[in-house]
Amino acid sequence: MNRRHWIAGACLAALMTALPAMAQTTLRMTWYSDGNEGEVMKDLLARFEAKNPDIKVVLDTVPFKAINENLPVQLAAGQGPDIARVVDLGGLSGFALDLRPHLKNAAYWEENFGPFLDWMRQPGNTSAIPGFMTQLTVTGPLVNKTLFEQAGVPLPGAKATWEDWAKAAKTVADKVKAPYPVAFDRSGHRFYGLAVSQGSKMIGADGNPAPIDDGFKRAAQMIADWHSSGVMSKELWGSVSGTAYRGANEEFKNAQVPFYLSGSWQIAQFDKTVGNAFDWIAAPTPCGPANCSGMPGGAALIGIKTTKSPAQVARVMDYLASEEVLSEFYGRALFVPGHIGIARKGVAYKGASPQAAAALKVFGDQVSALDPAAYRIQGYTYSRIVFNAAISRLGQAIAGEGTLAEAYKRIETDVAQQVAERNKK
Amino acid sequence: MTDSSRPAPGREGFAARAVRVATGLLDRPMAALQRLIGGERMAYVFLAPNLLFFGLFVFLPIGITLVFSVTGGTLLFPSERPYVGAQHYRALADCGSYLDPASCREDHFWRGVRNTLVFTAFQMVAMVGTALVTALVLNMKIRARGFFRAVYFFPVLLSPVVVALIWKWILQRDGLLNAALTLSGGQKILFFVEPGWAMFWAVFVSVWAHMGFYTLILLAGLQAIPADVYEAAEMDGTPPLRVLGRITLPLLWPNLVVVLVLVLIRAVQTFDEVFVLTGGGPGTATLMVVQYIYETAFANQVQNFGLAAAASVLLGGLLIVLTLLQLVAARRKAV
C-alpha cells in the first residue's frame, strides 16, 4: 500500500464520519427555568437525541426577563429560535407555528391540551396547535407556618377572606418582628389573583379591555390600604418603577414574610432552598365577595413559525408532549400538570418532600376552584397590556405619586394607547 | 575598523527590506490613484475606512431612528411600518404644563426628563468638584501617591452593573450600611423607598464609580502646568488660594471644559447603574429618560419603537443643545 492509498483511505473515512453529521438537523430551543426544570428538559432531550440521531436540540437557557423582553424582538426580526418556552401566550401567538399538519396524532393534542390551546391561538383561530403547557400554574398564598406558630396565631381556615389573612399576618409580623407581613410579587398577574376574587372581569361586553370595574377598584383600594397601614411594605411595590417585576421569594426564603402571594411555580425552589429552616405550606386562595379564585397561568412550549424545519420541530414536540415523557417532566420538576390525562391520573412527584407534595396538592385542588372569568382573563389577547398598565400605575400611587383615581384614568389611557398601537397596520 | 552601530546583516536587514518592498507595492497603486483623482482628494481616500465604519455604526442608526420616529405599529422592519408623521412627537409634547409631568400625556417621559435634569445638575457639580479636589491632592507630594492614584481609579474598571449591585447590597434593608447604623444605636433607613435618598444614592454611586476617570484627565492637566509659574508665585509670596484661582484653574481650564462636556453627556445618558440600583423607583423618582426609552421600546407589552425613537431624537437634540451651550460658555470664559 503506497502513500496515495493511505491518503485516499483517510479521506474516505473522514467522509463516512461526516455524512451523518451533515444530515443532522440542529434545532434551537429557548428556555428559562424557575427551578430544576431546565435540568430535567436537558435529560429528556438527550434521550430524544439518542433515539433520533438525525435531530440535535440545543437548549439555550436565558433569564425569565429575556423571554419577555428580548424574545419578542428576536421573533419580530425573524431571528427567533425553532422552539421557545413562553409565558405571554396570547401576545406571541402571532409567531407560533401551527404544528397540526406535522403531528403524528393531532387528536391526542386536542384531547389533552384542548382548554389551553385557545390561550396560544390568535383570536378567531380555533384549530391551530401551537404547543403544549410545560406547566399549569395557579396563584395562591404560601405561608410561613413556623412564624404563625412562634407568634401563637392560628392559621385562618379554608374559606378565610383576604381581610382575615391580612389581619392574622400583621399580628404575626408584629409579634415576631417580620418586616413584610403580607407580600405580593410586583406583577399585574398576581394583582389579578386578588382582583378576580373581588369580582374584576377585565373584558368589556364588546370584547375590548375594560380594566377599571368595581372589582378592580376594591382590590386596588385594598392594596393601597395595606401599604398605608403597614400590612404591605413599600419596598416591593413602591421601590421600583414601571412594569418591573419584583418577586418576594428571597424575603420569604429568609423567613421575613408570614404570608406570600405568589404561586405554584415557587414550590420546587422553596423545597430545595428552604429545606428544614422552617415549615411552609400552601394555603387555598382567600375569598373575596365574588369568589375564592386565584389566577391560572403557566408556560407553554411552542414551535416558532420561522423555523426551517417544521417537521423536525413537530417530532421533538410529539416526543416531549407524550404522556410518559410529560408525566416524568411534571413529576421531576414538581409542576401542576397542564395535560388533562395526566392531571386525571395524578402525577408521581418523585423526590418531593412531604411539604412540597402537600403544597402541590393544595394548588392542584385550586385548579377546579378557578373562576371562569380568571380563565378568560388569562387567555385574553390584551391581558398582559392590562397587567402591565395596572402594576405600573398602582405602583406609582403606592409610592405617593398621585391618587388611586388618577391611577385608574392612566390605566385606561395606557391600555387604549397600547391596544391602538398594536392594531396599527 | 568596524562600525558597531551598523545593523548586522540578517534579521534587521531583512525587516528593512520587507518594509521597503511593502511600501513599494503600495506606492505604485497610490501614486496611480493620486494621478487620477488629484493630490487634494487623497485625504478622502485615507479617511474613507474610518468614515465607512462611522457611517455604518453611527449615521445609519441615527437614520433608522429618525425613520422609526415617524412610523407606527409594532413591526420591526421600517418598510412594514405605517407612516404616522409627527404623531409620536405630538404625543410627547402634549402637556398641560411642562413643569408638571402629571399634566402630560406621556407623563413618564417628562418625569424622566425632570429626573435626568436634576440628576445631571447634582452629578456635574459633585463629580467635577470631587474630581478636581482629588486631582489637586494627588498632584501634591504626599506619601503613597501612586497607591492612592490607583485606588481612586479602581472603580472605573468595574462594570456599571457590578458597581450598582455592590451598592445595592450595601444600601438595602439588611445591607452593610443599615447594619452599621443599627450597631451604632440608630434606626434602619429604607434608602430605596424614600425618593430623596434614592436620588442621593444614584448621584453618589455614579460619582464614586466614575470620578477616577475625570481625576486622571485633570491630573494630566495639572502636571502639564509649568513648575516655574508656581515658583514665581512662591517667590512673590502669593497665598495658596490665590494661586489656585489665578494660576491653577485658568491653566487647567481646557481640561476642565473637556471634563464638563464628558460628565454632562454621560449624566444625560445615565441608565445602567441607576436602573440596577433603584429600578427607577420609588415610584418614578429616579426614572431617567433613557430608562423610559428602553421600557417603551422593549419592556412594555406593546413595544412602541416609534415613540421610543421620537424620545431618543429629542434626547439627542437636548444633548447637542446643552453641549453647545457649555462650549460657548467655556469659550467666552477663555476669551
pLDDT tens digits for B206-220? 999 999 999 999 999
CB distance B193–A425 less than 8 Å?
no
* Cβ proximity of A244 and A64 under 8 Å: no
Contact (CB, 8 A) for B95 and B110:
yes
Looking at the domain covering A138-296+362-422, what would its CATH class be? Answer: alpha beta
Span B136-162, average pLDDT: 90
Half-sphere exposure of residue A418: CA atoms within 13 angstroms, side-chain side: 25
The nearest alpha carbon in chain B to A387 belongs to B301
The yes-or-no verdict on residue A222 having pLDDT over 90 is yes
Helices (H), chain B: 11-37, 42-54, 60-69, 87-93, 107-138, 145-153, 160-171, 176-183, 195-223, 227-236, 240-243, 249-268, 272-278, 289-294, 305-334
CATH number at residue B196: 1.10.3720.10
Q: How many CB atoms lie within 10 A of CB B133?
A: 13
Query: Which residues in B lie closer than 8 A to residue A424 (C-beta atoms)?
Result: 72-74, 82, 84
Residue A78 predicted with pLDDT over 90: no
In a domain, B276, yes or no: yes
A350 pLDDT above the threshold of 90? no
Chain A residues whose CB is inside 8 A of the B298 CB are 69-70, 73
Report the DSSP pairing between strands A182-184 and A131-144: unpaired
- Please, which pLDDT band fits residue B6 given cuts at 50, 70 and 90? low
> What's the gap in Å between the CA of B201 and the closest CA on chain A?
14
Are B233 and B243 spatial neighbours (Cβ–Cβ below 8 Å)?
yes
Residue B11: pLDDT above 80? no
**Closest residue, chain B, to A384 (C-alpha):** B301
Q: CA of A254, closest CA in chain B: separation in Å?
A: 11
Min distance B64 CA to chain A CA atoms (Å): 15
How confident is the prediction for chain A on average, in pLDDT?
A: 91
Q: Is residue B65 part of a domain?
A: no
For residue A188, what is the nearest residue in chain B, using CA coordinates?
A: B301
Among candidates A115, A156, A102, A111, which has minimal Cα distance to A284? A156
Q: Has residue B127 got a pLDDT over 80?
A: yes
How close does chain B come to A188, measured CA to CA in Å?
A: 12
**B106 exposed, middle or buried (CB, 10 Å; 0-12, 13-18, 19+)?**
buried
Q: What is the pLDDT of residues A243-272, one digit of tens each?
A: 888 999 999 999 999 999 999 989 988 998
pLDDT, tens digit, 9 for 90 and up, residues B29-75: 888 989 998 888 898 998 999 999 989 999 999 999 999 999 998 88
Class of domain A20-136+297-354: alpha beta
Binary contact (A76, B76; C-beta < 8 A): yes
**Chain B residue with minimal CA distance to A400?**
B283
Q: Which three cell numbers, joined as nine digits, stand for A166?
A: 391580612
Q: For position A347, what pLDDT does the model report?
A: 87
- Kindly determine whether residue B300 and residue A234, on different chains, have CB atoms separated by under 8 Å: no
Taking contacts as CB-CB distances below 8 angstroms, the residues of chain B near A413 are 105
Kindly report, residue by residue over A31-54, the tens digit of the pLDDT. Answer: 999 888 999 999 999 999 999 999
- Quick check: B301 and A401 CB within 8 A? no
Domain count, chain B: 1
Nearest residue in B to A416, CA atom: B302
Q: Return the DSSP state at B128.
A: H
CB contact under 8 A, A242 and B75: no
What pLDDT was estimated at residue A409?
96
Quick check: B173 and A243 CB within 8 A?
no
Biggest alpha carbon–alpha carbon distance for chain B: 93
Q: Do domains A20-136+297-354 and A138-296+362-422 have the same CATH topology?
A: yes
Please report residues of B whose CB lies closer than 8 A to that of A234: 190, 193, 282
How much is the pTM?
0.83
> How would you label A292-316 residue by residue, b for 16+ Cβ within 10 Å and e otherwise?
bbbbbbbbbbbbbbbbebbebbbbb
**Mean pLDDT score, A152-161:** 94
> In what helix (H) or strand (E) does residue A303 lie, and over which residues does it extend?
strand A296-303
Assess whether pLDDT exceeds 60 at residue B10.
Answer: no
Grid cell for residue B138: 494627588
Statement: residue A398 has pLDDT above 70: yes
The pLDDT confidence band at residue B1, using thresholds 50, 70 and 90, is: very low
Q: Which residue of B has its CA nearest to A88?
A: B301
How far apart are the CA of A397 and the nearest CA of chain B, in angstroms? 8
- Chain A residues within an 8 Å CB radius of B102: 401-402, 406
**Residue B223 covered by a domain:** yes
Pull the grid cell for residue A256.
421575613
Model pLDDT for residues B249-296, shown as the tens digit of each residue: 999 999 999 999 999 999 999 999 999 999 998 999 999 999 999 999
Write out the residue range of the structural domain in which residue B184 sits: 107-334
* pLDDT tens profile B168-195: 999 999 899 999 999 999 999 999 999 9
**Contact (CB<8Å) B282/A388:** no
Interface of A with B (CB under 8 A): 68-70, 72-73, 76-77, 88, 91, 179, 234-235, 238-244, 246, 384-385, 387-388, 395-396, 398-402, 406, 410, 413, 418-419, 421-422, 424-425
Residue B124 C-alpha, separation from nearest chain A C-alpha, in angstroms: 25
Instruction: Indicate if ipTM > 0.85.
Output: no
Distance CA B295, CA B265 (A): 21
pLDDT at B163: 96
Q: Does B303 touch chain A (CB under 8 A)?
A: yes
Determine the distance in angstroms separating the CA of B264 from the nearest CA of chain A, rounded to an integer.
24
Flag whether pLDDT at A11 surpasses 70: no
Cβ separation B300–A77 shorter than 8 A:
no
Identify from B71, B302, B304 which residue to disrupt to test chain A contact, counting A C-beta atoms within 10 A and taking the largest count.
B302
* Cβ–Cβ below 8 Å for A242 and B280: yes
Burial class (CB in 10 A: 0-12, 13-18, 19+), B117: middle
Task: Taking residues A190-215, report their average pLDDT.
Answer: 95
The CA distance from A294 to A366, in Å, is 8
Domain segments of chain A: what residues? 20-136+297-354, 138-296+362-422
Cβ A232 vs Cβ A183: under 8 Å: yes
CA B281, chain centre distance (Å): 23
Asked if B102 lies within 8 A of A406 by C-beta distance, the reply is: yes
Q: Check CB contact under 8 Å for B298 and A246.
A: no
Average pLDDT, chain B: 90
**Chain B residues inside the 8 Å CB shell of A400:** 282-283
- Measure CB to CB from residue A235 to each of B173, B280, B284 and give the nearest one: B173
Q: What one-letter code names the amino acid at A323?
A: E
Work out the pLDDT band at B2, boundaries 50, 70, 90: very low
Whether residues B283 and A73 touch (CB distance < 8 A) is answered with: no
* B282 upstream amide cis, omega within 30 of 0: yes
State the smallest CA–CA distance between residue A235 and chain B in angstroms. Answer: 6
B71 touches chain A (CB under 8 A): no
Per the CB < 8 A criterion, the answer to whether A333 and A267 are in contact is no
Alpha-carbon gap: A398 to the closest alpha carbon of chain B (Å) = 8
User: What was the pLDDT predicted at A369?
Assistant: 81
Question: Which of helix, strand or coil describes residue A133?
Answer: strand
**For residue B139, is it within any domain?**
yes
